[in-house]
Structures are given as C-alpha cells and as structure tokens.
Amino acid sequence: MFVYLNGRIIPSHQAVISIFDHGFLYGDGVYETIRVLDGFPFLLDEHLLRLAQSARALRLGIPVPFPDIKKVIQTLIRKNHFPEASIRITLTRGPGPYGFDPRPCRNPTLAISCSSFVGYPASYYRRGITAALVGVKRNHPLSLPPSVKSTSCLNGILAKIESIDLGAQEAIMSTLDDRIAEGTVSNVFAVKKNRIFTPVLGKDLLPGVTRDFVCRLARSLGLEVVEKELSINDLKTSKEIFLTSTLMNILPVTKLVWVANRKIKSIKMGVGMGPVTRILAVCFEKAARAGKWYNSPLKKF
C-alpha cells in the first residue's frame, strides 16, 4: 500500500515519523476520514473545509495547498487500486522539544493514507446495533472544543470502553447537563411521528459532514428535520434511532442499554431499519453514488 508523508508518496512500510512529533507525544493534531465511492472521494471539499477549521482552532498551519492534497488523494486511489476505500488525512504539530509550547515545532507532519474499505458487518444494517448511553460525558466546550476533530481522542476511547463492557457496538455520550451530544464516531438521529430529530449544532458536538448531508437529503425528500436539544428520555421514547458517520453511512440502532442503580437496563426499538431510516438509507446510497454531486443541490431520489 502507498501512502503520502511530508511531500512523498512511498510504500507504507517506509513511512515513519519522529518519536518527538507532538502528535505522537501529546495528541496535538487534527484529522479527517473520507469515504471513496467508485473512485470518487465523497464530500471531499466539506471534509477539507472542516480540516481547515480544526487546524485554525489549534493555530496549526497546513503545509500543502488543498488543490495539491486533492491530487495526492487521487494518486493514492489510483496507485493502490482501491475504488472503494477510506482516506485518512492526519496533520500534526510535527517534531519539537518536550513541552506544550507549539512554537518550537516548525515543520507540521502531514500524512495521507488510502485503505481498502471494509465497512461494518452487513448484519448491523439488517438487524440494527446496540448503543450504550454511557456515563462518560462529552468534553465541555470550555475544556476541549468538540468542534475540533482532534487526534486527541481519549474522551471517545473511554466512552467506547464503557460501551464494550455493556455489550454495545457504539456509545452515545451526553453533555454535562444531560443533553444528547453524539456517539464516539457518529452523530445521533431519532424519529418520532415521522419527524427526524437530531441535536442542534453548537458548542457541544462535532459538525458531522455526513450528518449535514443526511439532513439535506431528508429535507429534499420532503421529510421534516428538527434540530433541537434532545434529552436521554427523547431517545428512549423514539420510534427509530439511527447513527451517521463517514464510514457508517446510516446505521440503525435497535436497542439501547444503560446502567441505573448499578443494574444494566435496556429498551428495544424493533428489529432492523424502521421505515424512515430505510428510506434515508436507500436514498443515501443512490445520492452518494450519483456521480458529480459536488456543489450541486440534492435532487429527490
């Protein structure tokens, strides 16, 4: 497999970074994951825009112009022969002396990899997954802005560990005041009376690229999408729940689990995709593979 590292496309086994890189030492960096469909990077401009916003928040310079990054991505897709792939762009502060001061780090590290897409098991989409309402809270925006897609992912890792202990495939985190935020790698949607609800964008969650695409797709189909603060009880009383992310697309949740009074409790929402989730999932696949939808308004499918 070929990867890009600091100006060179090389075999992956030759790709090495310094042990003094602040991304390795402190998680001082940002990243994006991009899905490749039929050889085309899906929503590439939107991902690059979010990368720029995350980097700007950390005062981290991007050493390569975006047009050149796009060319690198297309080269990696071609050289690796992966028409169905996932792209990972990682930008870190680069090597420097120990300490949190970023100023001595003069040369950011930019790495881009292209891996064959495997995806989640087909059974997850047929039967749905279990999601855990975990005790680990989403980072407070005054502590670590969730809107920055940072390589410092310990918050999500701790939530994931808790969900694994509860036998779930994903964790859903809430804010300090018990409003639904997001999953460890996903955005959350709930369906009630054929209306689609999702947490409002603000300071408490990452603005998901796929989330935005699904909201626009649903509205183009005449479905009502309501962005508002959601409580834990809102999820528990929903008819359908689904998650979205770059590598998930639209993934149904058919069971919620949580811990109350030291006991594991659960609630089921049925088996497989509900009707609204199914419509969105089918239309998402058609829209995503429709060709050059870049910068074009969504049409009904």
Render pLDDT for 160-184 as a digit per residue (tens, 0 to 9). Answer: 999 999 999 999 999 999 999 999 9
Tell me the pLDDT tens digit for each residue of 22-35. Answer: 999 999 999 999 99
The whole-number pLDDT of residue 298 equals 39
Q: Is 127 helix (H, G, I), strand (E, B) or coil?
A: helix
**CATH number listed for the domain at residues 2-116:** 3.30.470.10
Q: In angstroms, rounded to a whole number, what is the distance separating the alpha carbons of residues 210 and 198?
A: 13
Residue 53 neighbours by CB distance under 10 Å = 14
**Mean of the per-residue pLDDT values of the chain:** 93
CA 185/CA 103 separation, integer angstroms: 31
- The CATH architecture annotation of domain 122-288 reads Alpha-Beta Barrel (3.20)
Nearest-angstrom CA–CA distance, 215 and 21: 38
- Other CB atoms closer than 10 Å to residue 105's CB: what's the count? 20
How far is the C-alpha of 195 from the C-alpha of 222, rounded, in Å? 10
283 token code pair: 């239309």
User: Domain extents for the chain?
Assistant: 2-116, 122-288
The pLDDT tens digits of the residues spanning 87-101 come to 999 999 999 999 999
Tell me the mean pLDDT in the region 257-265.
Answer: 94
pLDDT at 296: 40
